[in-house]
Amino acid sequence: SAVISQKPSRDICQRGTSLTIQCQVDSQVTMMFWYRQQPGQSLTLIATANQGSEATYESGFVIDKFPISRPNLTFSTLTVSNMSPEDSSIYLCSVEDGVGKGETQYFGPGTRLLVL
């Protein structure tokens, strides 16, 4: 399975600031996703990061608030812009690995964000 790393692993930020989270995969993958998981809740898909084109956002998430980059097949960034305490959450990067395994997803370790 793909090995995924995320940076930073955690951060405490002031409201109104922005944070960029990086996701690095050790192999080229077609599909990369960004999720949010709030305490006690399930994972909510923010967007699909498309290589070479704009990300595809899910309902309730917009590019101005969560700009995403995908410059190549092994790397993506998610920015949480103009943060408020409601953005406090765990942000997870994931990749789809369908090679011989069906459409399973593998997750990075997550970025724990606290906005004061």
Q: Which residues are at the interface with another protein (CB under 8 A)?
A: 1, 30-31, 41-43, 45, 48, 58, 92, 96, 98, 101-110, 112
- Both structure tokens of 102: 């069906």
99: helix, strand or coil: coil
CA gap 51, 22 in Å, rounded: 15
Specify which residues 48 forms β-bridges with.
Answer: 33, 56
Nearer to another protein, 75 or 107 (CB): 107
Nearer to another protein, 14 or 102 (CB): 102
Q: Least separation, in Å, of the C-beta of 70 and another protein?
A: 15
Residue 87 or 97: the one with the smaller Cβ distance to another protein is 97
Contact present, 5 and 110 (Cβ < 8 Å) = no
Q: Three-state SS for 79?
A: strand
Shortest distance (Å) from residue 59 CB to another protein:
12
